[in-house]
Structure 1
Amino acid sequence: VQLGMEHAEEAGRMIVVLGSRASGKTSLIRELVYLKQEAKRDKTQCTVPESLGTKEKNDFLSSRHYRDVKPISWYFNTPGDLHYFKITSRCVVIADAVILMISSHLKASTPAMCEEQVIATKNIALSTYVSGIKQVIVVINKMDEVEFSETVYSQVKAHTKEMMSIIGFKDDYVTYIPASVSTLDNVWEESTKMSWFSGPTILSSIEKVSKSTEYGNTEQEFRMAVKHTYKREKEVIVVGRIISGTITTHSELNTSKGERLIVASIEIGSVSVREAVAGDFVGLALVSKDYYYPKALRTGMVLSSQVIYAVRTMICKVVILRNKDISAGGIPTVTCHSASGPCIWKRIISVVSRYSEEVMEQNPKKVSKGQIVTVECQNEFRLDACSFSRCSVLGRVFFRFNKEIDAAGIITEVTQKFPSNFR
């Protein structure tokens, strides 16, 4: 269930379901979507009072109270972590939590987690952590196929908990739930067949998920990644999600090319408003303060209330996701928020331990799947980004050497910036 861009302004909490093959992702999504549709039918809709005049109606439509009528949650069914990276890179939505599905029926004949599921689960968990998501719900599914055995659940939980703690997840943000989605045990209500488990159900765990703060900081400078641009007479309409800060009409914005822009109007869901805040998916009508018509706007640029520069070279910490030997000098496509273009891996600085910050190898010739490496990248296009510590959304990068994503990570340092007159 993917969230289209035209519906992003209605988004509540974003829940992404990940897992290896045949782990029950689609079945869980089907039940959650059915529950969401039932809840939406019972939800009281906000209506405009008939007694209001024209001006009062416009003020009411522009108010935060009217725009806060949103669904409870949006759910994303993904075939794997690579597909989730493609969604993330478009800067349309940000996940608040991940549901990690693990199938328990494979444990009936082996006391430990089988090798195939270990590899898949470890890669997904590691990729989730690198993506900046800290809230995880681990669902040990298909308990009906192991006769709701507490022993099997304890074995799977012990191995998974050890793996999650090594990767870096805190125990307070990881919830473990034994369930059987096909029989609805521990999905909506507590199961009578697993009386030995006294924890929450899947639904109650989702209700406790807190909103991500990555798109919620209104005190920082205004930043918005441009998703689409449209021309209209002397104006340019830009569409995107506000990363941080607050924007009002007649505000002045800057681009990395040095052009100054004025916000003529703001729209959220085809409704004109005077103000928008971090997390809103908006359309801005912009006019140039320096030229007759805005020149430098394109998809992938970042609008900011302060001076912003494009990144020329950067140091990135990434995890290799695919079985492929990657060496220095490669020319992958780098994706950061809604921007994408070629770059050069000038050198691979080091291989870092997955369990600590210890450097395992300096200047390796090749790296392979599962390794965490530090690389120096040189962008061959204007990439509006910054370090992950400064802004997590603009500091997350993904690399594709072929059609699929081969590495993902964060920008740790910006070493060189483009001049404003560089095209």
Structure 2
Amino acid sequence: MSDLLRLATAGSVDDGKSTLVGRLLYDTKSVLADQLDAVTRASVDKGLSTPDLSLLVDGLRSEREQGITIDVAYRYFATGKRSFVLADTPGHVQYTRNTVTGASTAQLAILLVDARKGVIEQTRRHAAVLALLGVPNLVLAVNKIDLVGYDEGVFETIAQEFAAHADKLGYPMGSVLSVPVSALVGDNVVEPSANTPWYAGPTLLDHLETVAVQPDPHEAPLRFPVQYVIRPRTAEHPDYRGYAGQVAAGTVRVGDRVTVLPSVVAGGLTTTVERIDTPDGELTEAVAGQSVTLLLADDLDVARGDLIAAADAPPAVTDEFAATLAWLADKPLRTGARVLVKHGTRTVPAIVAAVDARFDEQALSVVDAPDGLSLNEIGLVTLRTAEPLPLDDYADSRRTGAFIVIDNADGTTLAAGLAGTPLPGT
């Protein structure tokens, strides 16, 4: 059975992300005949002589009409070596929030640049976001290489400039693969191109099929956010009390010692896992990504929003912590702002105690004690919550170190937050 790679695309508007994704789908024969027919008809209506492969991804009517990506488009495809979940993210500055969403679970990101433009402001912004989110593998696709005459010098200049920038963000020199591609024509996307005899590296698909993938965090300490308490109270199950949710990290087994957090009892309430239920029957163990119902040996006061964790490696429980925020709202963030913090299945009121620093993703520098954070800015803040939260450091656990900040007035998402994470490159 092939393994799975979660990847995302990023880059500036018109760099060809949707066309590249369409090319991958088309050349790997992952497009149904009726989909291709619909795209061909739409392309003819636009006056094109060949199918516009970007239409395989831009599914919203507004996207097709404007020729841009607005929302995150998820696509699934597979080869004989690996399965893929791909998030095609928008390139416009005002949709940076969608890039954060698409890249938040990615194991690899493809960052596109236009060979005619090179590394630009949005390239650097997206690279900073990818570094902030801890995406472990990064590929630079120098697209539209055909429009610069397949010039090796142009490619090398762009690749070297970006490698130096990525190194400052925490991607060591030599760790970023740069590939000269033409998504429109297909150069070096799936098949090697005769137009770039000077390029000896893998095609984009070859790299995607062979890059080492970090496994799901099965070996990490158990983290199980309780989503729902199941108490049927029927004649058949008069005393049944189960806690439903998805294993966020680690592995849970029958007989494991676990701790329920947060709790009025210092260190939490400790018990053992008595049973693991699913709609298909009982399990002896469940791993990260599985949705199950846990039954505990003791009748504890457990509610939605609580976290069931490994007793020998629990997270810290705190009501004040430092975090990095990617600010996604039009209105700026100021010290003293009252917000909601949603961590796992728990949502609590909070106050922004301080805006400690702002990261300049262009100059890769830090501004101490700024007035606040504006749309698309990244900064370090101190949050104080009304109730304690069981938090991991994001560097240790992407799933349980992440949270979102919500407007307590209208429920809109204001920021993506990463607990305890230093600013990129610092």
Task: Tell me the equivalent position of 1:19.
Answer: 11
> What does residue range 339-378 of structure 1 map to in structure 2 within 5 Å?
339-351=346-358, 360-361=367-368, 363-368=369-374, 372-378=378-384
Quick one: which amino acid aligns to residue 285 of structure 2? E
Task: Tell me the equivalent position of 2:114.
Answer: 103
Task: Tell me the equivalent position of 2:100.
Answer: 85
Q: Do the aligned residues in 2 keep the contact of 1:266 with 1:283 (CA within 8 Å)?
A: yes
Task: Tell me the equivalent position of 1:65.
Answer: none
1:202 aligns with 2:204: yes
| Distance in structure 2 (CA, Å) of the matches to 1:289 and 1:387 | 29
Quick one: which amino acid aligns to residue 290 of structure 1? D
Task: Tell me the equivalent position of 1:263.
Answer: 273
Q: Do the aligned residues in 1 keep the contact of 2:275 with 2:296 (CA within 8 Å)?
A: no
How far off its partner does 1:289 sit? Answer: 0.8
Task: Tell me the equivalent position of 2:55.
Answer: none
1:384 aligns with 2:390: yes
| Distance in structure 2 (CA, Å) of the matches to 1:104 and 1:267 | 54
> What does residue range 254-333 of structure 1 map to in structure 2 within 5 Å?
254-256=259-261, 257=263, 258-260=268-270, 262-266=272-276, 270=280, 272-277=282-287, 279-287=288-296, 289-291=298-300, 295-298=301-304, 300-306=305-311, 310-320=317-327, 325-333=332-340
1:29 aligns with 2:40: no
Task: Tell me the equivalent position of 2:223.
Answer: 223
How far off its partner does 1:315 sit? Answer: 1.5
Q: Do the aligned residues in 1 keep the contact of 2:323 with 2:417 (CA within 8 Å)?
A: no
How far off its partner does 1:201 sit? Answer: 0.6
Q: Do the aligned residues in 2 keep the contact of 1:322 with 1:407 (CA within 8 Å)?
A: no
Runs (5+) with no aligned partner, structure 2: 32-79, 234-239
CA-to-aligned-CA distance 1:164-199 (integer Å, 9 cap, x gap):
222222233311111112222101110111112111
| Distance in structure 2 (CA, Å) of the matches to 1:289 and 1:31 | 55
Q: Do the aligned residues in 2 keep the contact of 1:134 with 1:173 (CA within 8 Å)?
A: no
Runs (5+) with no aligned partner, structure 1: 1-9, 40-68, 414-423
Match of 2:247 among 219, 241, 244: 241
| Distance in structure 2 (CA, Å) of the matches to 1:223 and 1:340 | 17
1:253 aligns with 2:253: no
Match of 1:146 among 129, 145, 148: 148
Q: Do the aligned residues in 2 keep the contact of 1:225 with 1:243 (CA within 8 Å)?
A: no
How far off its partner does 1:202 sit? Answer: 0.5
Task: Tell me the equivalent position of 1:180.
Answer: 182
- Which structure is higher in RCO with an 8 Å CA cutoff and minimum separation 6? 1
| Distance in structure 2 (CA, Å) of the matches to 1:35 and 1:224 | 40
Q: Do the aligned residues in 1 keep the contact of 2:12 with 2:123 (CA within 8 Å)?
A: yes
1:75 aligns with 2:86: yes
CA distance 1:382–1:139, change in 2 (3 Å): same
How far off its partner does 1:356 sit? Answer: 10
| Distance in structure 2 (CA, Å) of the matches to 1:103 and 1:136 | 17
Quick one: which amino acid aligns to residue 225 of structure 1? P
| Distance in structure 1 (CA, Å) of the matches to 2:230 and 2:15 | 42
| Distance in structure 1 (CA, Å) of the matches to 2:29 and 2:225 | 31
CA-to-aligned-CA distance 1:208-253 (integer Å, 9 cap, x gap):
322225x4352x5322334566554423242213412x32124343
| Distance in structure 2 (CA, Å) of the matches to 1:183 and 1:70 | 24
Q: Do the aligned residues in 1 keep the contact of 2:112 with 2:143 (CA within 8 Å)?
A: yes
Q: Do the aligned residues in 2 keep the contact of 1:264 with 1:284 (CA within 8 Å)?
A: no
Query: What number of residue pairs does the alignment pair up?
Result: 353
TM-score (norm 2): 0.70
1:394 aligns with 2:386: no
Q: State the secondary structure of the residue aligned to 2:155.
A: helix
Quick one: which amino acid aligns to residue 156 of structure 1? I
Task: Tell me the equivalent position of 1:49.
Answer: none
Q: Do the aligned residues in 2 keep the contact of 1:142 with 1:181 (CA within 8 Å)?
A: yes
| Distance in structure 2 (CA, Å) of the matches to 1:159 and 1:191 | 24
Identity of aligned residues (%): 19
Task: Tell me the equivalent position of 2:60.
Answer: none
Quick one: which amino acid aligns to residue 350 of structure 2? C
TM-score (norm 1): 0.70
| Distance in structure 2 (CA, Å) of the matches to 1:131 and 1:27 | 25
| Distance in structure 2 (CA, Å) of the matches to 1:273 and 1:371 | 45
Report the aligned-residue RMSD: 3.7
Q: Do the aligned residues in 2 keep the contact of 1:316 with 1:409 (CA within 8 Å)?
A: yes
CA-to-aligned-CA distance 1:272-308 (integer Å, 9 cap, x gap):
432234x3423133246125xxx4231x432112155
CA distance 1:351–1:162, change in 2 (3 Å): same
Task: Tell me the equivalent position of 2:70.
Answer: none
Quick one: which amino acid aligns to residue 251 of structure 1? D
Q: Do the aligned residues in 2 keep the contact of 1:85 with 1:398 (CA within 8 Å)?
A: no
Task: Tell me the equivalent position of 1:334.
Answer: 341
